[in-house]
Chains A and B, each alone.
Chain A
Amino acid sequence: MPARTKYELKPGPATREAFGHALVQIGRENPAVVVCDADLSKSTMTAFFAKEFPDRFFSYGIAEANMVAQAAGMAYAGKVPFASSFSAFAVNKGFEQLRVCVAYPRANVKVVGTHSGISIGEDGPSQMSVEETSLACSLPGFVVMAPADEASTKALVRAAAAYRGPVFIRTGRPKAPLIYNGGRRFEIGKAIELVEGSDVTIIANGLMVAEAIRASDALDQEGVSVRVLDMHTVKPLDREAVRRAAAETGAIVTAEEHMVDGGMGVRVAQLVAETQPCAMEFIGIRDTYAESGKPEELLDKYGLIARDVVAAVRRVLGRKRH
């Protein structure tokens, strides 16, 4: 048995910031890339792109429906548009346009939502996005991703630009611990095994990946062998990684900063049911809206920290068939 992988989880930039920097780099390499924003460019970090490429940046004001549909029009005319806003506004307010102008004709539009989940903190539930992954996954043909840190965000934004078809990427507001340190290949639809383990698998994405690693460290002290998967792509889901997790560890805990309903976990559960049924537990928001508070207070109150993942692992191990 090789030594268990250790992660230092040093402080890193927010995934939205990684997105902003990645866009500039992609913009330098591909003149077809254009960016659309709805009066949030300083928050979504598309302002970096706007500064370097003012002619390829389009301000739409506070009008997400129009922004998404115009991005589709640009895609039909050969551009690679990135449309960005808070996840709550880009997807919810632009949903009808994502449906008819983007998904239905399979337009080559990339929507990047920032300020996803409840970790935006003090602004409260109207700005928080806990439904958008479910909505985006319901659109036929969409690729939906939720990267965990700087390196994976940069790589997956790049992969989205190279991919031909509609993509939604969910990024966050708070600083995200560094998980990857170069040399790793990221592919759309390919989960990454961060920690090897044989008793149980934690499948996480976004900021829950770091919590899953912390949970696995704590459980390792107790002699529980935990596998951790970064399921950065929610759709299409990595069927083989899920099947193997179910078959080889016999118990799965999913963890995401999103409503459990319609989120990554239930999509994993569907695959598990179709391939290799096993005991499962789901960490996520439970049929409620959050409130104002510090991000760490909210994550604690709504059950989205390592402690909650550990508890879910204990529950699932109690139900696991031996």
Chain B
Amino acid sequence: MPKPVAELQALAKVIRRDIIEMIGTAGSGHPGGSLSAVEILVELYFDFMRIDPKNPKWPDRDRFILSKGHACPVLYSVMAEAGFCPKDQLNTLRKLGSIYQGHPDIRFLPSLEASTGSLGEGLSLGLGMGLADRLDGRRCRTYVLLGDGEIQEGQVWESAMSGAFHKVDNVVAIVDYNRIQLDGFVHDIMEVKPLADKWRAFGWHTLEIDGHDFASIRKALDEAQATKGQPTCIVAHTVKGKGVSFMENNPKFHGTAPTPAEMELALKELQ
């Protein structure tokens, strides 16, 4: 049974507050692309994926890979709220010895599926896992979240080509299409349009959704699961910095932490 949307929305607000506090306390990090992906991760971790926080290496679990590793605050917060790792250490983000490293590091947080941060590599990892799962007859599924700037990396298209060729239908690519990357707007740095058509041309069953609407995300994940013989790509239209007025659509907050005053303001907006 799907979780009530109101419950997921309440969780999303908690996650957004965590993200602001973590990055604000650390004094560095990537708030914009963490906030744009909140609904996607909340839907996956609290509603859709077959996972067990008590048994994080359960062989039949579904897997999630944050290929856009710089958005790790959203992943840490969601995993902590789900019970995979301690909530009371979230504010140690980026500090020496913290399990919450600046980019996801499986050596420090073994319940992660992969160490990521060098862009363009996560989909290959996910497809490798999907192929191994298929060989071993496990029914688990792997979800990989990519950034829209990230797909400028050539390896993404090598992996896209191979995912369709090997018919890896237990892997889903989700593109967080928030239209902003570090240096500015994606269309000014290196246009990725027509994004959905590119994935279709590479042989992926491709859907376009509102990446902040839980019902749409759920429906797309259901459709991906029902799609056999080819992998699915969900192009999730999102807003960079979603939920904090002065961060929304503002390239500055791709990789800049809020000041203490901005943090206070943001937390007030997220009450």
Contacts and interface: CB of A to CB of B under 8 A. Distances in A.
Main DSSP-derived SS at the A contact region: helix
Task: Please provide the 7 A-B residue pairs with the shortest distance between their CB atoms, ordered closest to farther.
Answer: A73-B128, A69-B124, A77-B132, A70-B128, A66-B158, A63-B158, A73-B125
A contact residues, range: 20 to 34
A7 interface: no
Contact of B162 (A70, A79, A104): A70
Interface stretch (A39-47, A95-103, A226-234, A309-317): A95-103
Interface string A46-69: 000000000110101101011001
A99 B114 CA distance: 13
A71 interface: yes
Interface string B153-182: 011001101100110000000000000000
A34 interface: yes
A74 B166 CA distance: 14
Nearest to B103: A100
A77 B115 contact: no
Given A73-B128, A76-B113, A76-B114, A66 B135 contact: no
Interface in B99-152: 105-107, 113-118, 121, 124-133, 135-136
Nearest to B142: A73
A105 interface: yes
B117 A66 contact: no
Given A66-B124, A69-B159, A72-B124, 5 more contacts: A55-B135, A71-B128, A77-B136, A100-B116, A101-B115
Contact of A76 (B105, B116, B128, B166): B128
Contact of B135 (A34, A61, A70, A99): A34
Contact of B128 (A61, A72, A99): A72
A78 B113 contact: no
B128 A77 contact: yes
Contacts of A75: 128
B128 A74 contact: yes
30 contacts: A56-B135, A58-B131, A60-B162, A63-B161, A65-B154, A66-B158, A66-B162, A69-B128, A69-B159, A70-B127, A70-B159, A71-B128, A72-B124, A73-B124, A74-B128, A74-B131, A75-B128, A76-B129, A77-B133, A78-B132, A78-B136, A81-B128, A96-B118, A97-B121, A97-B124, A97-B155, A100-B121, A101-B114, A101-B115, A101-B121
